[in-house]
Amino acid sequence: MEIKKRLVLRFSKQIWDKPIVYKLIKDYDLILNILIANILPRHESYLVTEVTGEEENYNAGLKYLEKVGVRVSSIEQSVVRNIEKCVHCGACTAVCPTKSITIDKNTKEIKFDFSKCSACGWCVKVCPYNALEMFLMD
């Protein structure tokens, strides 16, 4: 059975330069769609990614991450937009690091691509109309 989950991978300053993502792809046949990355030399770093693969490979990949010292947490929340409250002001588009919120050039309306959203919550914080909210996923 195929699994698709969004994860935050946190790397210590001792392992930031190791080929960990490469091994997940090559050795465990996982597909990683990187949504946000902050990788700094000799600093703690993180990667927000959507991981897709067969359940057995996914579980083996998680064990590998644990073994090499990567802290893994699941993204258990998402952003939802209340279309009735949204006035399409565009404030959210300025802070969205994944470009999941954009303005349609023709209609000047906000478009939200939930498949790109990393649930960072920045858009929720800047929305002056409270049209964006965080909610817990099942």
- 25-53 pLDDT, tens digit each: 999 999 999 988 888 888 888 888 899 99
Q: Is the CB of residue 126 less than 8 Å from the CB of residue 92? A: yes
Tens of pLDDT along 84-104? 999 999 999 999 988 889 999
Q: Which residue has the tokens 């195929």?
A: 2
Q: Which residue has the tokens 């404030």?
A: 91
pLDDT above 90: residue 123: yes
- pLDDT at position 135: 75
pLDDT above 60: residue 81: yes
Distance separating alpha carbons of residues 79 and 132, to the nearest angstrom = 7
Average pLDDT over residues 73-86: 83
Average pLDDT, the chain: 90
- b/e 115-127 (16+ beta carbons within 10 angstroms → b): ebbbbbebbbeeb
Domains along the sequence of the chain with CATH: 2-74 (3.30.70.260), 77-136 (3.30.70.20)
Helix (H) or strand (E) holding 112: strand 110-112
Higher-confidence residue: 100 or 76? 100
CB atoms within 10 A of CB 6: 20
| Distance from chain centroid for Cα 81 | 17
- Running DSSP on this structure, what letter comes out for residue 26? H
Is 0.85 surpassed by the pTM of this model?
no
